[in-house]
Amino acid sequence: MKRSSEMTSEKPLVRRTFIPGAGVLALVAASLAGGSCITVGEPVSGAQTFRVTVSKVNGNDPPVVDTPLPANIGDHNETWEIQIQALNADAQPDSTFNGTVRLSVVPGAIVKVVDDASGQTNGRNLLVQGGVATAHVDVTAVYGPTRMWAEDLGYLPAPPDRVAACSNGKNDDPDDDQLVDYPNDPGCAFANDDTETGGSYNAGVSGPVHYALPTIRQIQGVGATTPFPY
């Protein structure tokens, strides 16, 4: 066939010469070319994370790694005193954050959170105002290196005497979505959430509070079930 004979008779127009390092040079050139194409966006503002500090455990300095507290097998509570500070993108204190964060202790379980500012309890939730909050937190079933987490889930529990925005049968954030109430609107963390808007999902975690690891006997427990069901 004419076309195939033409193709086979074609000669390369440029002689290929191997240059050591040419591939690397090409990559660098491509990188520089890519680096010159920069899109400048809006600066990141507002709180981006939380600094979570555990200052006292049962009224004493937190235990260090060489002298851990005994493993807690869930038969009593321990009280942690914590401070939360919202931080901006430069890891500097951010006083603009106002919202409720949800606390967790890992591993272990939170029994009670008492807000030092109000003396109130609200499940595992803690109100952060002006970027700060302090609380006494009762924990149990903690063992090994244990840490406190704080997350902004956009959860604002409604007062018990009022119907929450996530249960009122209306779309309270029409600018964001067309969805109504829990569980349809993903901004509703729970049915008693008083905002249909979602949280920032900013999170922070404390350094470790040192407890000993439980023995196998403690893990198995002395009754029908383990004291560490989770």
Q: Which is nearer to Ca ion, 137 or 165 (CB)?
A: 165
Of 19-27, 61-69, 79-87, 182-190, the segment contacting Ca ion by CB under 5 A is 182-190
Number of H helices, E strands in the chain: 3, 9
Q: Which of 150, 118, 123, 143 is nearest to 52 (CA)?
A: 150
Of residues 111, 114, 179, 219, which one binds Ca ion by CB under 5 A? 179
What is the phi-psi region of residue 2: left when phi exceeds 0, alpha when psi lies from -120 to 50, beta otherwise?
alpha
| Ranges within 139-178 binding Ca ion (CB under 5 A) | 165, 168, 170-173, 177
Q: How far is the CB of 173 from Ca ion (least distance, A)?
A: 4
CA 105-109-115 angle, 5° bins:
70
Q: Which is nearer to Ca ion, 49 or 195 (CB)?
A: 195
| Ranges within 87-126 binding Ca ion (CB under 5 A) | none
CA distance 160 to 55: 32
Q: Tell me if 81 contacts Ca ion by CB under 5 A.
A: no
Give the x/- contact pattern for Ca ion in 183-222, rule: CB under 5 A: --x----------x--------------------------
SS3 70: coil
Q: How far is the CB of 153 from Ca ion (least distance, A)?
A: 16
SS3 5: helix
Q: Which is nearer to Ca ion, 56 or 170 (CB)?
A: 170
Which residues touch 221 (CB under 8 Å, ≥6 apart)? 73, 227
How many positions of this chain bind Ca ion (CB under 5 A)?
Answer: 11
Q: Which is nearer to Ca ion, 179 or 212 (CB)?
A: 179
Question: Prior bond to 107 cis, omega within 30?
Answer: yes
Q: Which is nearer to Ca ion, 179 or 219 (CB)?
A: 179
Quickly list DSSP for 31-55.
HHHHHT-----PPP-S--EEEEEEE
Q: How far is the CB of 144 from Ca ion (least distance, A)?
A: 41
Q: Which is nearer to Ca ion, 111 or 179 (CB)?
A: 179
Tokens encoding 2: 């004419």
Q: How far is the CB of 123 from Ca ion (least distance, A)?
A: 21
The site for Ca ion (CB under 5 A) is made up of: 165, 168, 170-173, 177, 179, 181, 185, 196
